[in-house]
Amino acid sequence: MSRLPAKQEESQSCFWLEKCHIAPVIMKNTALANYTFSVKLITVTIIGFFLTTMNAQQVLGENKGRKSSQLLLRRVKRATACTNNFITNDRTNDPLLAAFYPADQLDACLNNSVLAANLTELGHIAFSKNQLLILKRKLGEIYTSGLPEDQIQQLGFIITVYGPEEISTWNITRLDTLALALSNSANVNTTKVIIENYLRGSGSLNAGVLDVIGGPALCSLSEETLRTILPSELKKAKPLDISTCTQAKKDIIFGIAKVAFQDRAGDPNAYYNLTRPYVGGARASDLRSLAAGNISMDFQTFSRLNPVEVEQLTAQNIRDLLGINLNSLGLNRNHEIVQHWVNSHTVKEVMSLGIGLQGGIAPAGLGNFFFKEFSETGSAPINSYSLLLSICIAVMGITLQ
């Protein structure tokens, strides 16, 4: 086969390369300038093949992406179509709705008008979190300016998917709304916001509010808020469990309780029983006063006292405070509050209780010694006091020699 003259072949090839917009890159590249035309042509062919392949893949990718998007859109359209029966007013109290209508079907088959008219019934069905989020979104579409207080009362389980920031915008002014909202609060943070929201609109922590809130929820409030409780209101309220409060909050509440029940201080047992729920905030002076009344505090109550205040009590104070329950200290010798008291008193004081407690602060220079009763199989037990006496006699004998 005849070949074109070299110059003409190169000229025609250059014309083709220029049409492909590659000649400026290849022919003017200084790195290829010294190579023969054949080498240049091979190089250009490889590059052209590479670019063609890349372009084809890009086109295929775009087509595939377009098809995937269309498929996804069709799936979404299918998911948002109600394939079950639409939920009507007479079915809104059916607890099986949660099983028959997954989130996408609940969204598609529940009209907003049906939700608004039957919020109480739907709010008391045990829907999953995703289903509850659907109901929450629909309520946002219905009440664009925020949930009215009447609707807040009807939320039921739906309240669990509202966050603190959303709840802070609610208008809670009635005690029954507060009670219903708290009964379904998801956590401590939402509980705190619900209470603060109510107090912002209604005023103080009166007896009715304290009864609704209860102790654990009360502990979520700030120290500043707790100081607003009037002694007269605490006196009228039901006993509150404040065991989960911080020590500072316990101190505040006990101070209010002292004033609330001071008219019963003349009857030590009556005064103790009224203040017992709050005695975790009692100071050492308060505990000494209670001890003087021979109240026989049970160990469960004793264990909730402030250890820092308990360590200031003498052995006699402890004996008077617990009375007939003194042996419970020995039975609970490993409890933190017992160990705290033992480690802050002398060995002599600890042993003076006579209930088998061991430990304490030894005289200067001797360190801490613990003499425990022990026995070996087949032998009689050796009393720790006898062992201590034997050691003392031996030391005295050596000294006198």
Q: Where does residue 90 fall: left (phi above 0), alpha (psi -120 to 50 degrees), or beta otherwise?
A: alpha
**Mean of pLDDT values over 239-259:** 97
Residue 202 pLDDT = 78
Encoded tokens for 328: 């419970």
b vs e for 209-245, b when ≥16 Cβ sit within 10 Å of the residue's Cβ?
bbebbbbebbbbbeeebbeebeeebbbebeebebeeb
Residues 14 and 126 placed together within one structural domain of the fold: no
Residues 293 and 192 placed together within one structural domain of the fold: yes
Residue 46 pLDDT = 54
Phi and psi torsions of 266, nearest 5° = -70, -20
pLDDT over 80 (residue 394):
no
Which residue has 């120290």 as its token pair? 223
Helices 207-218 and 175-183, axial angle in degrees (round to 10): 20
397 domain-assigned: no
> How many structural domains comprise the chain?
2
Question: Does residue 135 contact residue 162 with C-beta atoms inside 8 Å?
Answer: no
Residues 98 and 180 placed together within one structural domain of the fold: yes
CA distance 286 to 314: 14
- Lowest-confidence pick of 59-68, 222-231, 319-328: 59-68
37: pLDDT confidence band, cut at 50, 70 and 90?
Answer: low
**Residue-wise DSSP of 327-372:** HHHHHTTTSHHHHHHHTTSBHHHHHHT-S-----BPPTTT------
Residue 204 pLDDT = 87
201: pLDDT confidence band, cut at 50, 70 and 90?
Answer: confident
Question: Does residue 221 contact residue 210 with C-beta atoms inside 8 Å?
Answer: no
**Mean of pLDDT values over 142-169:** 95
CA distance 300 to 281: 15
Read off the amino acid at residue 228: T
Count the alpha carbons within 13 Å of 353 in the hemisphere toward its beta carbon: 32
pLDDT digits (tens, 9 = 90+) for 256-279: 999 999 999 999 999 999 999 999
399 domain-assigned: no
- Lowest-confidence pick of 63-77, 94-108, 347-361: 63-77
391: pLDDT confidence band, cut at 50, 70 and 90?
Answer: low
**Neighbour count for residue 135 (Cβ, 10 Å):** 24
166: pLDDT confidence band, cut at 50, 70 and 90?
Answer: very high
Residues 147 and 37 placed together within one structural domain of the fold: no
**Mean of pLDDT values over 282-298:** 96
- Looking at the chain, the whole-number percentage of residues with pLDDT higher than 90 is 68
**Mean of pLDDT values over 276-290:** 97
Count the alpha carbons within 13 Å of 374 in the hemisphere toward its beta carbon: 5
384 domain-assigned: no
H or E element at residue 371: none
In DSSP terms, which residues pair with 346 in a beta bridge? 361
Strand, helix or coil for residue 266: coil
Residue 400 pLDDT = 47
pLDDT over 60 (residue 49):
no
Computed from CA positions of residues 198, 203, 206, 208, in that sequence, does the dihedral angle turn out positive or negative? negative
- Lowest-confidence pick of 110-119, 162-171, 199-208, 259-268: 199-208
Residue 16 pLDDT = 40
Residues 281 and 308 placed together within one structural domain of the fold: yes
Residues 41 and 130 placed together within one structural domain of the fold: no
Residue 299 pLDDT = 97
Last residue of a domain, one of 353, 377, 392: 353
In DSSP terms, which residues pair with 382 in a beta bridge? 374
**Residue-wise DSSP of 173-214:** -SHHHHHHHHHT--SHHHHHHHHHHHHHHH----HHHHHHHH
Residues 193 and 330 placed together within one structural domain of the fold: yes
**Mean of pLDDT values over 391-400:** 47
**Mean of pLDDT values over 89-106:** 95
Last residue of a domain, one of 50, 75, 100: 75
Residues 160 and 290 placed together within one structural domain of the fold: yes
Of 39-53, 139-153, 189-203, 385-399, give the range with the top mean pLDDT: 139-153
17 domain-assigned: yes
Residues 129 and 216 placed together within one structural domain of the fold: yes
Average pLDDT of the chain to the nearest whole number:
81
Q: What is the DSSP letter of 324?
A: G
CA distance 216 to 235: 18
Residues 153 and 194 placed together within one structural domain of the fold: yes
pLDDT over 80 (residue 29):
no
Contacts of 254 (CB under 8 A, 6+ apart): 275, 278, 279, 280, 281, 282, 286
Question: Does residue 341 contact residue 349 with C-beta atoms inside 8 Å?
Answer: no
**Mean of pLDDT values over 249-259:** 98
pLDDT over 90 (residue 163):
yes
71: pLDDT confidence band, cut at 50, 70 and 90?
Answer: very low
Residue 363 pLDDT = 78
Greater confidence, 229 or 376? 229
Residue 362 pLDDT = 87
H or E element at residue 242: none
- Lowest-confidence pick of 72-81, 134-143, 147-156, 369-378: 369-378
Which residue has 């020699």 as its token pair? 401
Strand, helix or coil for residue 373: coil
Helices 284-292 and 268-275, axial angle in degrees (round to 10): 140
Residues 58 and 94 placed together within one structural domain of the fold: no
Residues 56 and 204 placed together within one structural domain of the fold: no
Question: Does residue 136 contact residue 168 with C-beta atoms inside 8 Å?
Answer: no
**Mean of pLDDT values over 58-69:** 45
pLDDT over 90 (residue 111):
yes
CA distance 35 to 325: 107
Domain that holds residue 28: 6-75
pLDDT over 80 (residue 17):
no
CA distance 373 to 382: 6
pLDDT over 80 (residue 185):
yes
Phi and psi torsions of 69, nearest 5° = -60, -45
Residue 38 pLDDT = 57
Residue 203 pLDDT = 75
Farthest-apart Cα atoms in the chain, separation: 135
